[in-house]
Amino acid sequence: MEKVERLISIIMILLKKDVVSSTDFAQLFNVSKRTVLRDMETLSLSNIPIYAVNGVYGGYGIMNEYKVDKRLLSSTDLLNILTALGGLEQILISEEVERTIKKMEAMVSPSAAKGSIRISFYDWEGRSELSQTLKALQESIITRRIVSFDYDDKDGNATKRTVEPYLLHFSESSWYLKGFCLERMGFRTFKLSRINHLQTNEQTYTPREDFADHEQKVSCQPELVTVKALISPGIKDQFIERHGQKSIEYYSPELYMVTFSVPCNRIGFKFLAGFGTELEMVEPQSYVQAFRNYLLEMVNKYKSSTDTPTRQK
């Protein structure tokens, strides 16, 4: 049994029982009493209110106030959590999440309605290939071990990096590692799909206190510009999901006018280009012209089927 699974099991047991001896835990998990002690220390450091009871009938317990908080969760609350975990399971690619789901399912009343919401993601082959990288980085963060890897930036430039890993971040459809790069001596974000030859070092690190401040700064929204575009009914729902019903207004039997905000850079252009001929930019004219130039760059790469590719391998 892995440590994380064992820690979850300890919490679940202590939520149901008053005091459990270290001997019972050691026998249950087939580990030493010293390992049980370390597990209790880990839970305490994670703000789980564990306390020790000395004597013949001693052992470990969890504060009653914590148990009360747990009991305040209704079957509906638990089902909502299970729904969220069910979606996360497909993103995290983690056996631990699956085990957590099974434990929580056991707490739900048999009479409670299940399966009212289902979350699905495309089962991309590349996502499963990232599984080992994701698990290795997750373990490195928990044990605070420095990692090394080869990294290809967005322009294809290869570099070698040594990083203190702090956070795994899933955004849109991609995984990112956030950490302190010892080559650049600064906080950096790395896309997992660009990481190669990952190695976990024996060297450990002490977390830098300014990481939270850095995260707050970089979490700010990029500079946005408000634009208007004509769209076909076929993509109306996508804009409602992103920008709300208020962003859409009727224009003609074949078109809707949509008002929304996009980044003032090529990221915004790539997003808009993805709608193809079902979207036509209207204003502001400065952004329309910049978007037109971006599209012309794309067209110039395909001037003629007989042209030599602009990029040779």
Q: How far is CA 146 from the centre of its chain?
A: 21
Helices (H), ranges, the chain: 3-16, 22-29, 33-45, 64-71, 75-92, 95-105, 125-129, 131-143, 211-218, 236-243, 266-273, 285-300
Residue pLDDT, tens place only, 12-60: 888 778 889 988 888 888 888 889 998 888 888 777 788 888 877 788 9
The class level of CATH for 3-71 reads mainly alpha
The predicted pLDDT at position 65 comes to 62
Handedness of CA 240, 246, 248, 252 (dihedral sign): positive
Residue pLDDT, tens place only, 207-261: 888 777 776 666 545 678 999 999 999 999 989 988 889 999 999 989 999 999 9
At residue 70's C-alpha, the angle toward residues 64 and 72, to 5°, is: 110
Q: Are the folds of 3-71 and 126-218 the same?
A: no
The predicted pLDDT at position 296 comes to 92
**At 156, is the pLDDT very low, low, confident or very high (cuts 50, 70, 90)?**
confident
The predicted pLDDT at position 313 comes to 45
Q: What is the mean pLDDT of residues 164-191?
A: 86
222: DSSP letter: P
The predicted pLDDT at position 146 comes to 95
Residue 196 has phi, psi (to 5 degrees) of -130, 150
CB 212 within 8 A of CB 166: no
Q: What is the mean pLDDT of residues 172-185?
A: 86
Q: What is the mean pLDDT of residues 90-100?
A: 56
Its CATH architecture, for the domain 126-218, is Roll (2.30)
Tokens of 151: 């990294």
Residue pLDDT, tens place only, 249-295: 999 989 999 999 988 878 889 889 999 999 999 999 999 999 999 99
The predicted pLDDT at position 54 comes to 83
Residue pLDDT, tens place only, 113-137: 555 545 555 555 555 667 778 888 8
The predicted pLDDT at position 264 comes to 80
Burial class (CB in 10 A: 0-12, 13-18, 19+), 97: middle
The predicted pLDDT at position 42 comes to 84
Question: What are the extents of the domains in the chain?
Answer: 3-71, 126-218, 224-300
**Rounded distance, CA 207 to CA 187, Å?**
12
pLDDT above 50 (res 163): yes
